Structure 1
Amino acid sequence: MTTIEILGFTSAFLTTFSFLPQAIQVIKTRDTASLSLAMYSIFTLGVACWLVYGLVKQDSAMIVANMITLLLSSCILAIKVFNDMKSKRTRLAEQ
């Protein structure tokens, strides 16, 4: 493994796993009130694009990191969408 590949995997590890505490907190608490739906939608789409880019470039570090980040961000996005829909239904029912 070359020095640049080690740098790539180290960078991928750090940025991917920096996201883990947020994902764990959202999954455990289901609290997404302070999270932006637009931000997580755009972020998740961006990560999916980076994954495709990594696949085309055949960059292992980019592929692994973005697969994991896509999984985590998709979980958070799904919980956020569910919570927002539930909140909207509750508000409509109260009217």
Structure 2
Amino acid sequence: MTDLVGYFSAFLTTFAFVPQALHSWKTRDLSGVSLPMYSLFSLGVFGWLIYGIMIMSWPIIVANSITFMLACVVLYLKITHKD
């Protein structure tokens, strides 16, 4: 039951980033995206991923792997496309 709660919460928080990543990819409009915030957020998600690996928690590993990839897409677009 604990993992089920973890997976459900991971699904919600991870896929909350899909609309931002898709919007950024399609429009290349990242004027509303803060580079410092996304940089810190991505670093924090990476830390959660490492933590999940260390304690072998699959909900944490899966959620933060996907979230890290999505955040990196937005970060990459923010850095390479000038507002």
Give me the TM-score of the superposition, normalised by structure 1.
0.84
Residue deviations 1:9-42 (CA, integer Å, cap 9, x gap): 0000010011111111001111101110000000
Q: Report % sequence identity.
A: 46
Aligned length: 83
Q: Which residue of 1 aligns with 2:59?
A: 61
The equivalent position to 2:27 in structure 1, one of 26, 29, 36, is 29
Larger gyration radius, structure 1 or structure 2:
1
More helix by share: 1
Query: Runs ≥4 in structure 1, deviation > 6 angstroms?
Result: none
**Residue number among 1, 26, 42 corresponding to 2:40 in the alignment:** 42
SS in 1 for 2:33: coil
Match of 1:77 among 42, 51, 75: 75
TM-score calculated relative to the size of structure 2: 0.96
